[in-house]
């Protein structure tokens, strides 16, 4: 189990790196938005490329940052009964959710998005808009984001199983597993 927990820590480091990349994309996207507005209103200059790069960065922010959000246990959760459960009950619900819902959806998304992104890359797909940007780089972010999310799910599952086996302590408020 210690080897698996070390793997989970390695996945956490990878996830944190891409979380930082997502945070930088937020800053860059805001800067581009401000510069676009400034150039449009002061110099009467604008380009579709400015708008397209912003939505492409938003895709990067969302897809590259989602694994880090899962790691921090900050994802959106519909909590009807979960909050009233014991820590052990929450662990079991999480394990069930990862195995029965999370991983099948991630694997399905990877199965669908990898060929789609690779086809776009092979064809050198670009936006149909005037002055549009290449689209294939952002399409490659989709399988990358789901691969990162799947890896982080593996790390979280390892932690839940370790807590159920008593290998690691578990915070009773269920904020974070303790390693």
Q: Is 91 inside any structural domain? A: yes
Count how many domains the chain has.
1
pTM over 0.85? The answer is no
Q: Is 62 inside any structural domain? A: yes
Between the ranges 8-17, 49-58, 170-179, where is the mean pLDDT highest?
8-17
Position 17 pLDDT exceeds 60: yes
Q: Is 136 inside any structural domain? A: yes
Q: Is 171 inside any structural domain? A: no
pLDDT of residue 142: 94
Q: Is 169 inside any structural domain? A: no
pLDDT of residue 81: 80
Domain span at residue 18 reads 2-164
Spatial CA neighbour of 150 closest among 49, 58, 67, 41: 67
* Residue 172's pLDDT band (cuts 50, 70, 90): very low
């Amino acid at each position: 189990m210690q080897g698996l927990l070390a793997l989970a820590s390695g996945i956490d480091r990878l996830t944190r790196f891409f979380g930082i990349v997502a945070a930088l994309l937020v800053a860059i996207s805001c800067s581009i938005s401000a510069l676009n507005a400034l150039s449009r209103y002061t110099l009467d200059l604008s380009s579709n490329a400015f708008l397209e790069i912003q939505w492409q960065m938003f895709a990067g922010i969302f897809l590259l940052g989602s694994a880090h959000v899962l790691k921090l246990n900050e994802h959106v959760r519909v909590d009807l009964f979960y909050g009233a459960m014991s820590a052990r009950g929450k662990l079991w619900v999480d394990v069930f959710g990862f195995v029965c819902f999370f991983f099948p959806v991630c694997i399905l998304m990877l199965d669908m998005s990898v060929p789609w992104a690779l086809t776009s890359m092979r064809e050198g797909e670009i936006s149909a808009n005037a002055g549009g940007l290449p689209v294939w780089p952002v399409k490659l972010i989709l399988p990358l984001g789901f691969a990162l999310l799947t890896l982080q799910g593996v790390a979280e599952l390892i932690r839940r199983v370790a807590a159920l086996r008593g290998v690691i302590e578990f915070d009773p408020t269920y904020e974070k597993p303790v390693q």
